[in-house]
Amino acid sequence: MVKVFIDPGHGGTDPGAVGNGLREKDLTLQIGTRIKNILTQEYDNVSVLMSRTGDQTVSLTERTNAANSWGADFLLSVHINAGGGTGYEDFIYPGVGAPTTTYQSNIHAAIIALVDFYDRGKKTANFHMLRESRMPALLTENGFIDNANDAAKLKSSTFIENIARGHVNGIVKSFNLPKKATAVYHTVVAGDTVYSLSKTYGSTTQQIKDWNNLDDNYTIYVGQVLRVK
């Protein structure tokens, strides 16, 4: 099980950067929550913990302590930039090598592939979230909140979805996460048995029993709808 710690930057009494009617803490929570939901709903072999799930004030030390205590395999800290520039960039701690550099390359490329932001490149920085985490860590800066063009994009729900999907695609590539199997349902007809259905759909009899809450004394009947894959 791959343990991914997602840190939506700022929150609570710390709004982060503010501009063009937007607050960094709101955007990072939107993006971070969407990343979590996509990962847990669409992929197997991944567990996600977030540093905050609402508008809470959480110190930097509390964030890295939580990730370290949980034993995360990867820390992702999501931010929005400010300062008059434009575009997307990400950071790892100076001097670290693989696999952190590989994860940065995968996520950077995946985000740029989906998001219409100027590519500011892959960078390093002595940020707390990167320095104090015991696992590979990446901090992303998703556009400039004080740039009118970037801010207009950040106001689009479709654009936020693409940012989240870009992060997810990079994480999936980095950790070889498998897609969840699409559930298949079957309406029982005369002659069907759990054994015959397992052979038809390639599932085990135990899986079909578990998916449909069938105990050892189960019976199935014509017209019953069963999950079979």
The DSSP line for 153-184 is: HHT-HHHHHHHHHHHHHHHHHHHTPPBPPPP-
CA 158 – CA 167 distance, rounded (Å): 14
CA 142 – CA 29 distance, rounded (Å): 13
Q: What are phi and psi of 78, to 5 degrees?
A: -105, 130
- Sequence-distant (6+) residues with CB within 8 A of 65 are none
**What tokens appear for 173 in the block?**
């590539």
Q: Specify whether 161 is catalytic.
A: no
- Asked if 65 contacts 75 with a C-beta cutoff of 8 angstroms, the reply is no
**What tokens appear for 217 in the block?**
């004394």
The three-state secondary structure class of 40 is helix
The three-state secondary structure class of 96 is coil
Catalytic site residue from 24, 42, 62, 141: 141
Hey, which residues are catalytic here? 141
